[in-house]
Structure 1
């Protein structure tokens, strides 16, 4: 029987408490997001958007973009309101 997202999150939290760090593999995170109602097609779009990020000056292996976002739950959308440089 497949583990529920809540149980998976509980184990991640327990691991963090015990080891002060936690790694969540992408496939596991995808399963959690889908169980909470995310659309897999939308997640694939996020992958494309992530390829357009700037190099992170603090960690050479990471790319990111800082900013403020508005999460409009009523209209089921999210958008950037303000860019914030490092």
Structure 2
């Protein structure tokens, strides 16, 4: 947990999620001093926001494959989360 909030932006989704899970586990155990708990909570909030941003970016990149009459991919369209 020595990384700064600026370093969070460089984390992959998987690493950010791993760190967030570690923070949650430590806080759930309840044996972390109050000041350290506050620091961990703040970092967890930053990690969650980073994961949310990465998921949104990935969602925007996902495309549906349209199949042509012969069953082959005929093109793509942007993902429509409502359908």
Pairwise same-fold verdict (TM > 0.5): no
Structure with more helix by fraction: 2
Decide which structure has the larger Cα Rg and report it: 2
TM-score, normalised with respect to structure 2: 0.29
Pick 1 or 2: higher relative contact order, CA cutoff 8 A, min separation 6: 2
TM-score, normalised with respect to structure 1: 0.28
